[in-house]
Amino acid sequence: MLTRPRLQNLQLLPGKMVRLACGVLTLIALPLASYAQSTSKPIPSIEKQGEHFRLLVDGSPYLMLGGQLHNSDTSNADDLNKALDVLAGWHANTAEVPIYWEAIEPKQGQFDFSSVDLAIQAARKRELHLVFLWFGTWKNGESHYVPEWVKRDKQKFTRVQGSRGEETEIISPLCRAAMEADTHAFSALMQHIKSVDEAQRTVLMMQVENEPGLFGTDRDYSEASNHLFDGPVPKELLSFLESHRQQLSAAMAAVWNQSPKSGSWKQVFGELAPEAFSGWLVSNYVNTVATAGKHEYPLPMYVNVWLIEGVERPGRWPSGGATVNVLDIWKAAAPGIDILAPDIYYPKFYDVAAQYTRPDNPLLVPETNFNPYFVAFAYTTFGHFNGIGFSPFGIDDVQKGGAPAAIGSLFEDAYGVLRPMLPLIARYQYTGKLHPILQGLANGEDWKESIRVGDRLAANIDFTATFDPAKGRACGMIIELAPDDFVVMGTGFDVTFREMEGPLRDAQLISIEEGTFQGDHWMPSRRLNGDERHVSLPDKSTILRVRVAR
């Protein structure tokens, strides 16, 4: 059950019952709503120009430097506030906060948005933006966040049947009543967010469901579902796959190239058929929910994905979620979803990030390991993949002290230098002038790395920190502001700039300054010369501006 907001929040949020356009009664928080009428900013949006994507917030490109709270935090005001304090302390700019269908619609048609208002107030107090995670029909491929009135009524809200005829607790993607109920609740939520946040735009994006799909089975084996599975694959899906055959994921291309391209799911998709079938049903369902929500308030919307890790079968991950196997089916069925976003707990971060960076999909990492090894991937996400967001999961673990607190310090250190640089990094995305640096393991990248920067120079990087995945590793970025002007940021490495033309020599260093950016303005804090005349980043993250002779 939702814990009522504490006294302080109740005073902030005197409510008023109002009737929404969709006919339901809802509690509107007056101070938020009345403030909403006083100013106006453009609604956050995803802009696509050719193959380049930008998340626009207040009209400017925005990179989400975020963190995700634990699942139950929004049910308790103290937990929520403490978790947001962690993110504010790190200089994160965005909090990903779960909100629960069961808390928002405890009785059918009666809405309680106090948890939503509480999160918005708490975020504003700390100047954080919010991404709301809609724990609706599906959460990790199960249905534990549906309200009690859905849980209890199995006749109306039908469940997935497993392959041995067993009943599961998962709402079936074929259940129209559930889809309509979820859609209704999500629409009411979006209408509420609009009413309280239209002016300030604290909420910048919505995650629709959470790792949707069917956990523990590859598809629904109910009679109705079997009938559809044996029937023909819908024509619109076939024609989408055919017209997009050049850009299909490798997994789907392998199937499609061998496929007869019409017939039953089994005939068209072979072994992939159960997952493809589930992908089609789940993506259509989620698209219906998202599209109705956007109709009320068109924030960008994404779906997060439980990835395939290792050699496994669908059902070990929520079958029908937007894995690489069926990502193209989601693109066909769910135009209301702007981004398919991988939850990257998998150490092969680059492989996954590459699969989800496509001309029809920007990289957003809504969840990643809260672990020292993963800190460096913030640079990878923004610098290598032109990604729009990065967010470790379960950041409030730092409050336990000990090892989690030490991990928190690593994120705090990296975020501290990334945050002021985000507008500049956003500006240089897609230009080839961002060069992320991360200490690896495979081919000696635990010692050295060498990067070509611009036409004329090489940056030879020597890692000064010992590679230790448990304690953190060197990471950072070089940004080419001009052929003779660089930002070098990060921790744990030295850089030597070498001339790649003319006589063999190092580049002549004109100046090295420590400092930071405020918008476009460089704010030097120390000029390094004499004994300190080195491009050397210590074990605390630093920003240097390095000018070399032309």
The footprint of ligand DGJ (CB under 6 A) covers 71, 140, 210-211, 304, 343, 367, 393
Rounded to 5°, the CA angle 5-11-12 comes to 85
Q: Which is nearer to ligand DGJ, 187 or 323 (CB)?
A: 323
Which value, to the nearest 10 degrees, does the dihedral of the CA atoms of residues 460, 464, 468, 472 take? Answer: -90
Which two tokens mark 75? 């049910």
Q: Which is nearer to ligand DGJ, 121 or 304 (CB)?
A: 304
Q: How far apart are CA 185 and CA 105, in angstroms?
A: 7
- Point out the residue whose Cβ comes nearest to ligand DGJ: 211
Question: Three-state SS for 154?
Answer: coil
User: Closest separation between CB of residue 391 and ligand DGJ, Å?
Assistant: 11
Rounded to 5°, the CA angle 33-35-41 comes to 100
Q: Which is nearer to ligand DGJ, 71 or 357 (CB)?
A: 71
Rounded to 5°, the CA angle 425-93-524 comes to 50
Distances (CA, A) of 190 to 3, 296, 422: 22, 6, 28
User: Closest separation between CB of residue 370 and ligand DGJ, Å?
Assistant: 9
Q: Which is nearer to ligand DGJ, 140 or 191 (CB)?
A: 140
Q: Which is nearer to ligand DGJ, 314 or 392 (CB)?
A: 392
Q: Which is nearer to ligand DGJ, 278 or 304 (CB)?
A: 304
Q: Which is nearer to ligand DGJ, 367 or 449 (CB)?
A: 367
User: Closest separation between CB of residue 339 and ligand DGJ, Å?
Assistant: 15
User: Closest separation between CB of residue 511 and ligand DGJ, Å?
Assistant: 46
User: Closest separation between CB of residue 413 and ligand DGJ, Å?
Assistant: 23
Q: Which is nearer to ligand DGJ, 273 or 327 (CB)?
A: 327
Q: How far apart are CA 292 and CA 74, in angstroms?
A: 24
Q: Which residue has the tokens 């559930």?
A: 178
User: Closest separation between CB of residue 71 and ligand DGJ, Å?
Assistant: 5
Q: Which is nearer to ligand DGJ, 392 or 436 (CB)?
A: 392
The DSSP bridge partners found for residue 442 are none
Q: How far apart are CA 137 and CA 357, in angstroms?
A: 27
Q: Which is nearer to ligand DGJ, 145 or 265 (CB)?
A: 145
Within 8 A by CB and 6+ apart from 131, the residues are 64, 66, 94, 95, 96, 97, 203, 204, 205, 206, 207, 366
State whether the Cα torsion 111-112-115-117 is positive or negative: positive
User: Closest separation between CB of residue 345 and ligand DGJ, Å?
Assistant: 7
Q: What are phi and psi of 120, to 5 degrees?
A: -65, -45
Query: Using the 8-state DSSP alphabet, how is residue 300 labeled?
Result: -
Q: Which residue has the tokens 């032309």?
A: 550
Q: Which residue has the tokens 């619609």?
A: 105
Question: Three-state SS for 256?
Answer: helix
User: Closest separation between CB of residue 39 and ligand DGJ, Å?
Assistant: 34
- Edge-to-edge, what's the strand order for the sheet holding 25-29? 15-19, 25-29, 110-111
User: Closest separation between CB of residue 306 and ligand DGJ, Å?
Assistant: 7
The upper half-sphere exposure of residue 396, i.e. CA atoms within 13 Å in the direction of its Cβ, equals: 18
User: Closest separation between CB of residue 139 and ligand DGJ, Å?
Assistant: 7
